[in-house]
Amino acid sequence: MAGLTFLLCVPSYRRDFLGLLKQQKVTVVGLIALSETLLSVSAAITLYATLLAPVALVLLVNSFQPLFVFALGIALTLLFPRVAKESLGRMQCCKRAWELASCSSVVT
């Protein structure tokens, strides 16, 4: 919803998005469809897990998502540098670890 709001209210975002859509229509629509599909599947899985297990346990496991994203970003950078590129300097890693810790403490 926030993305749609920004797209409608910020002219430069709208201009850039429409320009990208004109250049690479299939790629952009494919990535958006993939993103929405994964979001819907993950929401359905989370709701199904809530039916099967205690809610506190499901929320606890779900709060580890930032850790998995952090680890996946590092793994993609090391194994497939053309797919994802992250700065793995010492200060950047410390900064991201701090963000991860603060995000995890807010979620739990």
Break the chain into its structural domains and give their ranges. 1-53, 63-108
> What is residue 54's predicted lDDT score, i.e. its pLDDT?
92
- How far is CA 77 from each of CA 22, 30, 38, 87, rounded to the nearest angstrom? 29, 23, 22, 9
* Exposed/middle/buried for residue 34 (C-beta within 10 Å: 0-12, 13-18, 19+): exposed
Q: Using pLDDT thresholds of 50, 70 and 90, give the confidence band for residue 104.
A: low
Higher pLDDT, 101 or 105: 101
> What is residue 108's predicted lDDT score, i.e. its pLDDT?
46
Higher pLDDT, 89 or 105: 89
DSSP state of 53: S
pLDDT digits (tens, 9 = 90+) for 43-67: 999 899 999 999 988 888 888 887 8
